[in-house]
Structure 1
Amino acid sequence: MIKTYRIYIYFSIILLTIIIPACNTTTDSPKPKDTWIYYAAKNGLINNSVSDLKFDSQGNLWVGTEFGLSKFSAGNWTSFNTSDGLIYHQINSLAIDKNDNIWFATPYGVSFFENGNWHSYTITNGLNYNYAFDVAIDADDLPWVGLGKGVSHYDGIDWINYEKDLGNSLVHNIVRSVAIDANGNKWFGTEYGISKFNTNIWTTYLAAKPSADFIVTMFIDSRNRLWVGSLAGASVFEGANIIDYTLSDGLVYDRVDAISEDMNGIMWFGTQYGASSFDGTTWKSYTTANGLPDNWITGITIDSDNNVWFGTKSKGIAKLIRPAN
């Protein structure tokens, strides 16, 4: 009996030494993963080659493509083309005013969609040049259009045109991007530098590297800073300083085609080789290897839930839902 008792105690102690540590060990839960949702022509998008996309104040998504316009509302797609009133099927850029009216920049002029009605503008009725790259809306809800030859501004009655050739101080006549900040400065990104215009005063900004002077896109962030995407990376105007970010800093690729900012102040950059996010310290990149349907990102916008929507060159739209926004 004594021998049996000792054996029982011996095995009980061994069993407890196994069970107790196991009970105190916590198992790490798997980290929540990003969720991706894709939209393409097979789902109702008019075309998979997206050039620009933006949300209106009602939460409707407007998507400009190389072959028409699509609106995504309450899970349904509605499309528009030249037969509906759009001046040309290729949309280079779109801008939405305070009343949810929309301006479209195309290679054959500008279209304005107002309360269900279409209006078109070309060189025949005031536009300085037909090829329109970009459009931005000012504080008076009026458009400034970057053209293949200068800039045109609609004042509500007439078009006012600006060209380098006309003695104005626009640094270059091919204006690929337009941005307007909270101080009323109009920024024009050209194929040879940047011009800032305010109250008839022009200021020119040229970079040290020629490739940085070829401006592809611009964006004003929530701190009223100008971000510039060029052939040489991304740059931000910080007061009197300009800070550059390139591939060596963490950007996925040096040519930047799209810029946006989410509700947390994280900046997003679209390139031909994927997208990058930057929180001021850390860079993170997204490619086809971790969720994107296409690496060439042509547009980025943020919805009311802080989800990130990417327009791509050939595979439609990707919506990124992050686990913690």
Structure 2
Amino acid sequence: MTGRLQSIPLDSIQTDPQLQNRNVGMQKYKEHSDAKRYKDHVNQLRRSIKADGQQVPLQVVAAEEGGVYELAPGADRPHHVPARFWLVDGHHRLEALTKAGVAEALVEVLPGLGFADALDASRLANPQIVQALSPLERVENAWGAFNQERDTYRKMPVKEASVLLGVSENSIKRFRDAVRQEGINAGKIDRDTPRDKAEQQLQAYWQRKTTWRRLSIISWRMFQKQRQDGGKRTSPAALKHAVKMAVIQALFGEDGRYDPKVIVTALEELGREAGRPDGAAYLEAKYKPKVHQPVTTDDDEAVGGDVDYSQLGVEVARMHAEGTSRAPGDF
């Protein structure tokens, strides 16, 4: 099932902002030249697909949701037959395929199963396919890799992480030094700890859910700015504006995915539902589909469980869940 090319229905491919090495849907929110470059690139791909068919496969990882386990003849254990896939590389091509009206996509199914494996695979996706990542995009991609639940990159030697993620060793060292200093300021890391215990303390602090999850929703650039500003608290109005921006950019992030009138109507209805006395609990129960996530106890020990998360609301849900316990920052 993995490691070979195959065609799958386009509607069986699902995306998540965390799996995008470059935030392809947000280019229009940058300066005009970026927006034009983004649209021109997708349109060029669409014309190429219409003329010659899809030449470069998408890369996907099988999702756990919706799949079944089957026992093949002669096999000693059942294998997973996926019905859904996480897209880890090829977001421009997926949009071009959608605009071209294609029903199926040529994909390479990478090893792994579930969102955590998809996250790992997305960080290692070849950055030279179709359109290379810029140096800044590679640094932000690496920062995202260090701040995911799975500690693959946090525990990796600096040189190895540098090669895999395509950034300099100095960039990796700056990540580690910045988080270590934050842990010292928070009283969770001893500044004068012996060298042999310094790495253990850093890993323990970074592995805390309140650390990696908070850092995962801000860019490296904004984390640096936050530190330079001396940890000034962000006003409630600014935080609300950031939440609004996250929602609007996610909804309007892909041209043609949703009708603007439908978005406005849905937001008006959402506002009425949020105004209920039990607004937060009601919205979480109504709109978050089942995705397996670890449940963290007060002492940050993870146990298995099912928590509802939606692709659109994951960042907003995180901010709401952490509330004032989250160190101030910006998006």
Q: TM-score, normalised by structure 2?
A: 0.30
Task: Flag the structure with higher strand content.
Answer: 1
More helix by proportion, 1 or 2?
2
| TM score, norm. by length of structure 1 | 0.30
